[in-house]
Amino acid sequence: MGKAVIYDELTSPEVRALIKGGMDMAIQPTGATEQHGPHLPLSVDYLIAHRIALGVSERTGIPVFPPLPYGHSSGHRGFPGTLSLRPETFQHIAEDIADWAYDTGFRRLLFLNGHLLNSAPLANAMANLRARHADLKVAVVTWWDITKEIQAKFHGDEHCGMGHGNVVETSMLRYFRDDLVHMDKARPFQGRREKYFFYYLIRQLSDVGYMGDPSRATREMGEEIYRKAVDGLSTQLEAALKEEPPYK
């Protein structure tokens, strides 16, 4: 395990040397500042994505851009605390960051996402970037999709087809920042479990702002999931650093 390469702590010449030395990839953590019920802080989504990115950087040497603390969180309107961007605004921010990274010399970029509703604007950004820069390799990975095991654990604790502030997110926060978690306010969600056909605001699905059973969260579970996420993504990115398309 080495030291994480934190992009904004580097000098301009150090960035130039990094790229000239062969490191043409960077990780951009994305998340949100939004409510996660009475037991979790607003920083859950970007904090988890950022910490996983730093762990991966320790293993691979891939630099980590500053995390985006705002995302597309309009579904949380009605609960205090959330600060949201419009999806098109978030998409444009992602594209602007990628364009500047490209100008700097990066040719591989991973958006490591920590918030479900960021997925659509990131997909649109990726489509535009691929058309604009034929030699830019760009990908989006939401952290609970890094491995099938993590995905199953995350979706194993959800209600109304959604896990939000659930046992997995709460365990991760307990491992990273237990001082910010209010376990005395973590209760099993008593709402209905079935999925719905249409899209609804969170307040129409939950009167407490979260789904799942955070009362079962432990630091040990959080550490286990974190290490599996870092192991899984590091393995994938070690291969991605060498990946080339079959035809140019």
Strands (E), the chain: 25-30, 108-113, 137-142
Per-residue pLDDT, averaged over 113-128, amounts to 97
Task: State which residues form the domain around 36.
Answer: 7-240
Residue 248 lies in a domain: no
DSSP state of 25: E
Convert the pLDDT of each residue in 27-69 to its tens digit: 999 999 999 999 999 999 999 999 999 999 999 999 999 999 9
Contact (Cβ atoms closer than 8 angstroms) between residue 201 and residue 72: no
pLDDT at 119: 96
Residue 75 lies in a domain: yes
Buried-exposed string 206-217: b where 16+ CB fall within 10 A, e elsewhere: bebbbbbbbeeb
pLDDT at 193: 66
The tally of domains found in the chain comes to: 1
Q: What percent of the chain has pLDDT over 90?
A: 90
Residue 160 lies in a domain: yes
pLDDT at 248: 77
CATH of the domain at 108: 3.40.50.10310
Convert the pLDDT of each residue in 165-215 to its tens digit: 999 999 999 999 999 999 999 999 876 667 888 888 999 999 999 999 999
Residue 189 lies in a domain: yes
Residue 103 lies in a domain: yes
Residue 1 lies in a domain: no
pLDDT at 97: 98
Residue 42 lies in a domain: yes
Please tell me the number of Cα atoms within 13 Å of 38 on its side-chain side.
11
pLDDT at 146: 98
Considering the chain, what is the average pLDDT of its residues? 96
Per-residue pLDDT, averaged over 237-245, amounts to 96
Q: Nearest-5° angle of CA 7, CA 86, CA 172? A: 55
Residue 246 lies in a domain: no
